[in-house]
Amino acid sequence: MRIGSFAWPLVMGLLSAFLLGPLVLVAVFSFSSNALISFPMGELTLKWYRDLLANADFHAALTNSLAIALPVALISTVTGTLAAYAFAEWRTRLGLPLLALLGLPVLLPPLVIAISLVVLYVRWLGLPLGRPAVIGGHVLVTQPLVAAVIASRMASFDFTVLEAARDLGASRWQTFWKVTLPQMRAAIVGAALIAFALSLDEFIIAVFTIGGGNTISTFVWGKIKTTLDPSINAIATILLLMTIGLTLIALRLTRYRG
Protein backbone atom coordinates (compact mmCIF):
# COMPACT_ATOMS: atom_id res chain seq x y z
CA MET A 1 0.00 0.00 0.00
CA ARG A 2 1.22 3.52 -0.75
CA ILE A 3 1.34 6.13 1.98
CA GLY A 4 -1.09 8.19 -0.05
CA SER A 5 -4.01 5.95 0.80
CA PHE A 6 -3.69 6.92 4.48
CA ALA A 7 -2.43 10.45 4.00
CA TRP A 8 -5.54 11.80 2.25
CA PRO A 9 -8.15 10.64 4.79
CA LEU A 10 -5.86 11.97 7.55
CA VAL A 11 -5.40 15.37 5.89
CA MET A 12 -9.12 15.71 5.12
CA GLY A 13 -10.02 14.64 8.66
CA LEU A 14 -7.65 17.14 10.26
CA LEU A 15 -8.79 20.01 8.05
CA SER A 16 -12.47 19.19 8.70
CA ALA A 17 -11.68 19.23 12.43
CA PHE A 18 -10.03 22.65 12.02
CA LEU A 19 -13.12 23.94 10.18
CA LEU A 20 -15.79 22.52 12.47
CA GLY A 21 -13.87 22.30 15.76
CA PRO A 22 -14.37 25.90 16.94
CA LEU A 23 -18.11 25.67 16.27
CA VAL A 24 -18.47 22.29 17.96
CA LEU A 25 -16.56 23.48 21.06
CA VAL A 26 -18.90 26.43 21.54
CA ALA A 27 -21.94 24.18 21.25
CA VAL A 28 -20.52 21.54 23.62
CA PHE A 29 -19.45 24.04 26.28
CA SER A 30 -22.87 25.71 26.23
CA PHE A 31 -23.99 22.68 28.28
CA SER A 32 -21.09 22.83 30.75
CA SER A 33 -21.51 24.09 34.31
CA ASN A 34 -18.02 25.68 34.29
CA ALA A 35 -18.05 29.45 34.20
CA LEU A 36 -14.94 29.32 32.03
CA ILE A 37 -14.45 27.39 28.84
CA SER A 38 -11.74 24.96 29.90
CA PHE A 39 -10.86 21.32 30.46
CA PRO A 40 -11.91 19.22 32.22
CA MET A 41 -15.51 19.99 31.35
CA GLY A 42 -17.91 20.63 34.23
CA GLU A 43 -21.21 18.86 34.71
CA LEU A 44 -23.96 19.00 32.14
CA THR A 45 -26.40 21.82 32.69
CA LEU A 46 -29.06 23.87 30.94
CA LYS A 47 -28.46 26.80 33.29
CA TRP A 48 -27.08 29.14 30.59
CA TYR A 49 -30.09 28.55 28.38
CA ARG A 50 -32.47 29.19 31.29
CA ASP A 51 -30.59 32.42 32.16
CA LEU A 52 -30.81 33.52 28.59
CA LEU A 53 -34.53 32.86 28.21
CA ALA A 54 -35.14 34.89 31.36
CA ASN A 55 -33.06 37.80 30.04
CA ALA A 56 -35.24 40.68 28.81
CA ASP A 57 -32.35 42.22 26.82
CA PHE A 58 -31.99 38.99 24.88
CA HIS A 59 -35.71 39.01 24.04
CA ALA A 60 -35.45 42.60 22.81
CA ALA A 61 -32.42 41.74 20.67
CA LEU A 62 -34.13 38.66 19.23
CA THR A 63 -37.25 40.70 18.42
CA ASN A 64 -35.13 43.32 16.65
CA SER A 65 -33.23 40.68 14.69
CA LEU A 66 -36.44 39.00 13.52
CA ALA A 67 -38.02 42.37 12.69
CA ILE A 68 -34.99 43.02 10.48
CA ALA A 69 -34.36 39.57 8.98
CA LEU A 70 -37.99 38.97 7.88
CA PRO A 71 -38.34 42.12 5.74
CA VAL A 72 -34.78 41.62 4.46
CA ALA A 73 -35.65 38.10 3.31
CA LEU A 74 -38.91 39.26 1.69
CA ILE A 75 -37.49 42.33 -0.06
CA SER A 76 -34.25 40.77 -1.27
CA THR A 77 -36.12 37.71 -2.55
CA VAL A 78 -38.39 39.90 -4.65
CA THR A 79 -35.64 42.18 -5.98
CA GLY A 80 -33.13 39.33 -6.44
CA THR A 81 -35.61 37.07 -8.22
CA LEU A 82 -36.76 39.82 -10.57
CA ALA A 83 -33.14 40.65 -11.39
CA ALA A 84 -32.31 36.97 -11.99
CA TYR A 85 -35.32 36.78 -14.33
CA ALA A 86 -33.99 39.71 -16.37
CA PHE A 87 -30.50 38.15 -16.45
CA ALA A 88 -31.94 34.84 -17.68
CA GLU A 89 -33.74 36.58 -20.56
CA TRP A 90 -30.49 38.25 -21.53
CA ARG A 91 -28.74 34.89 -21.55
CA THR A 92 -24.97 35.16 -21.41
CA ARG A 93 -23.99 38.46 -22.95
CA LEU A 94 -25.12 41.09 -20.45
CA GLY A 95 -26.37 38.86 -17.66
CA LEU A 96 -23.05 37.94 -16.09
CA PRO A 97 -21.55 41.46 -15.94
CA LEU A 98 -24.80 42.76 -14.43
CA LEU A 99 -24.81 39.99 -11.83
CA ALA A 100 -21.19 40.87 -10.97
CA LEU A 101 -22.17 44.55 -10.63
CA LEU A 102 -25.01 43.60 -8.30
CA GLY A 103 -22.53 41.53 -6.27
CA LEU A 104 -20.05 44.39 -5.76
CA PRO A 105 -21.36 45.23 -2.24
CA VAL A 106 -20.54 41.67 -1.13
CA LEU A 107 -16.97 41.97 -2.38
CA LEU A 108 -16.10 45.21 -0.55
CA PRO A 109 -15.29 45.16 3.16
CA PRO A 110 -18.55 45.41 5.16
CA LEU A 111 -16.91 48.17 7.19
CA VAL A 112 -16.80 50.41 4.09
CA ILE A 113 -20.43 49.65 3.24
CA ALA A 114 -21.38 50.40 6.84
CA ILE A 115 -19.66 53.79 7.07
CA SER A 116 -20.86 54.86 3.62
CA LEU A 117 -24.42 54.11 4.72
CA VAL A 118 -23.94 56.12 7.91
CA VAL A 119 -22.65 59.06 5.83
CA LEU A 120 -25.71 58.78 3.55
CA TYR A 121 -28.30 58.36 6.29
CA VAL A 122 -26.95 60.86 8.78
CA ARG A 123 -25.27 63.57 6.73
CA TRP A 124 -27.26 63.68 3.49
CA LEU A 125 -30.70 62.31 4.21
CA GLY A 126 -30.93 63.28 7.87
CA LEU A 127 -32.65 59.97 8.55
CA PRO A 128 -32.54 58.41 11.99
CA LEU A 129 -30.58 55.18 12.38
CA GLY A 130 -32.59 52.12 13.40
CA ARG A 131 -34.27 49.02 12.02
CA PRO A 132 -35.11 50.44 8.55
CA ALA A 133 -31.51 51.63 8.17
CA VAL A 134 -30.22 48.11 8.93
CA ILE A 135 -32.80 46.55 6.60
CA GLY A 136 -31.53 48.70 3.72
CA GLY A 137 -27.94 47.67 4.32
CA HIS A 138 -28.81 44.01 4.62
CA VAL A 139 -30.92 43.95 1.44
CA LEU A 140 -27.94 45.41 -0.38
CA VAL A 141 -25.72 42.44 0.55
CA THR A 142 -28.35 39.67 0.38
CA GLN A 143 -30.04 40.47 -2.95
CA PRO A 144 -26.99 39.48 -5.07
CA LEU A 145 -26.86 36.09 -3.33
CA VAL A 146 -30.57 35.54 -3.95
CA ALA A 147 -30.07 36.55 -7.59
CA ALA A 148 -27.10 34.15 -7.93
CA VAL A 149 -29.02 31.19 -6.46
CA ILE A 150 -32.11 31.86 -8.62
CA ALA A 151 -30.02 32.51 -11.74
CA SER A 152 -28.19 29.19 -11.35
CA ARG A 153 -31.59 27.45 -11.06
CA MET A 154 -32.88 29.32 -14.11
CA ALA A 155 -29.84 28.19 -16.11
CA SER A 156 -31.36 24.69 -16.11
CA PHE A 157 -34.89 26.01 -16.63
CA ASP A 158 -36.76 24.68 -19.64
CA PHE A 159 -38.02 27.80 -21.41
CA THR A 160 -39.88 25.77 -24.08
CA VAL A 161 -42.48 24.93 -21.40
CA LEU A 162 -43.34 28.62 -21.24
CA GLU A 163 -43.78 28.77 -25.01
CA ALA A 164 -46.00 25.71 -24.82
CA ALA A 165 -48.17 27.37 -22.18
CA ARG A 166 -48.46 30.52 -24.28
CA ASP A 167 -49.32 28.48 -27.40
CA LEU A 168 -52.07 26.76 -25.46
CA GLY A 169 -53.62 30.15 -24.78
CA ALA A 170 -52.36 31.05 -21.32
CA SER A 171 -51.77 34.74 -20.74
CA ARG A 172 -48.31 35.89 -19.69
CA TRP A 173 -49.59 36.34 -16.15
CA GLN A 174 -51.16 32.87 -16.04
CA THR A 175 -47.97 31.37 -17.44
CA PHE A 176 -45.98 33.05 -14.71
CA TRP A 177 -48.28 31.94 -11.87
CA LYS A 178 -49.03 28.45 -13.09
CA VAL A 179 -45.86 27.37 -14.86
CA THR A 180 -42.85 29.50 -13.95
CA LEU A 181 -43.47 30.00 -10.25
CA PRO A 182 -44.21 26.36 -9.32
CA GLN A 183 -40.96 25.29 -10.98
CA MET A 184 -38.97 27.99 -9.23
CA ARG A 185 -40.67 27.71 -5.84
CA ALA A 186 -38.03 25.58 -4.10
CA ALA A 187 -35.17 27.78 -5.29
CA ILE A 188 -37.02 30.95 -4.24
CA VAL A 189 -37.81 29.62 -0.76
CA GLY A 190 -34.22 28.41 -0.42
CA ALA A 191 -32.82 31.79 -1.43
CA ALA A 192 -35.14 33.54 1.03
CA LEU A 193 -33.92 31.31 3.87
CA ILE A 194 -30.28 32.06 3.02
CA ALA A 195 -31.03 35.81 3.03
CA PHE A 196 -32.79 35.43 6.39
CA ALA A 197 -29.85 33.50 7.90
CA LEU A 198 -27.30 36.01 6.61
CA SER A 199 -29.26 38.92 8.02
CA LEU A 200 -29.54 37.24 11.45
CA ASP A 201 -25.78 36.72 11.59
CA GLU A 202 -24.61 40.01 10.05
CA PHE A 203 -22.79 42.20 12.55
CA ILE A 204 -20.77 45.07 11.07
CA ILE A 205 -23.51 46.84 9.08
CA ALA A 206 -25.93 46.21 11.95
CA VAL A 207 -23.72 47.69 14.66
CA PHE A 208 -23.12 50.88 12.65
CA THR A 209 -26.69 51.49 11.50
CA ILE A 210 -28.90 50.20 14.34
CA GLY A 211 -28.49 53.37 16.40
CA GLY A 212 -29.87 52.41 19.82
CA GLY A 213 -30.90 48.90 20.82
CA ASN A 214 -29.44 45.58 19.86
CA THR A 215 -29.74 42.79 17.32
CA ILE A 216 -28.65 39.31 18.39
CA SER A 217 -25.22 39.85 16.89
CA THR A 218 -24.64 43.24 18.55
CA PHE A 219 -25.94 41.68 21.79
CA VAL A 220 -23.30 38.95 21.47
CA TRP A 221 -20.74 41.67 20.70
CA GLY A 222 -21.59 43.50 23.91
CA LYS A 223 -21.04 40.32 25.89
CA ILE A 224 -17.79 39.28 24.20
CA LYS A 225 -16.33 42.75 24.74
CA THR A 226 -16.61 42.54 28.50
CA THR A 227 -15.59 38.99 29.39
CA LEU A 228 -15.87 35.33 28.49
CA ASP A 229 -19.44 35.13 29.73
CA PRO A 230 -20.66 31.50 29.55
CA SER A 231 -24.12 32.55 28.40
CA ILE A 232 -22.45 33.57 25.10
CA ASN A 233 -22.01 29.86 24.39
CA ALA A 234 -25.75 29.38 24.69
CA ILE A 235 -26.59 32.37 22.44
CA ALA A 236 -23.94 31.30 19.96
CA THR A 237 -25.37 27.78 19.87
CA ILE A 238 -28.91 29.07 19.32
CA LEU A 239 -27.63 31.35 16.55
CA LEU A 240 -25.64 28.47 15.02
CA LEU A 241 -28.65 26.16 15.05
CA MET A 242 -30.82 28.82 13.42
CA THR A 243 -28.38 29.83 10.65
CA ILE A 244 -27.06 26.34 9.92
CA GLY A 245 -30.54 24.77 10.12
CA LEU A 246 -31.96 27.37 7.74
CA THR A 247 -29.11 27.01 5.28
CA LEU A 248 -29.21 23.22 5.30
CA ILE A 249 -32.90 23.34 4.43
CA ALA A 250 -32.09 25.96 1.79
CA LEU A 251 -29.30 23.85 0.29
CA ARG A 252 -31.66 20.89 0.00
CA LEU A 253 -34.33 23.02 -1.62
CA THR A 254 -32.03 24.69 -4.13
CA ARG A 255 -29.80 21.65 -4.68
CA TYR A 256 -27.01 24.19 -4.73
CA ARG A 257 -23.53 22.70 -4.74
CA GLY A 258 -20.45 24.84 -4.52
Which 22-61 positions form the footprint of another protein (CB under 8 A)? Answer: 22-23, 25-26, 29, 36-40
Summary count for the chain: helices (H), strands (E): 12, 0
Find the binder of another protein among 148, 195, 234, 236 (CB under 8 A): 236
Q: Which residues contact 30 (CB under 8 A, 6 or more apart)?
A: 48, 49, 230, 233, 234, 236, 237
Q: Is residue 72 a contact residue for another protein (CB under 8 A)?
A: no
Write the binding mask 182 to 201 for another protein: x where contact by CB under 8 A, - elsewhere.
---------------xx--x
Q: Which residues contact 88 (CB under 8 A, 6 or more apart)?
A: 95, 151, 154, 155, 157
Find the binder of another protein among 60, 66, 82, 170 (CB under 8 A): 82
Beta-bridge partner residues of 32: 44
| CB of 120 vs another protein, minimal distance in Å | 4
Of the pair 67, 176, the CB lying nearest another protein is at: 176
Cα distance between residue 102 and residue 47, in whole Å: 45
Q: Is residue 120 a contact residue for another protein (CB under 8 A)?
A: yes
Find the binder of another protein among 140, 145, 154, 192 (CB under 8 A): 140
Q: Is residue 93 a contact residue for another protein (CB under 8 A)?
A: no
Answer whether the bond into residue 128 is a cis peptide, omega within 30°: no
| CB of 124 vs another protein, minimal distance in Å | 6
Report the site for another protein in 198-217 (rule: CB under 8 A): 198, 201-204, 217
Q: Is residue 228 a contact residue for another protein (CB under 8 A)?
A: yes
Decide: 229 and 29 in contact? Cβ < 8 Å: no
Secondary structure (DSSP) of 129-158: PSHHHHHHHHHHHHHHHHHHHHHHHHTT--
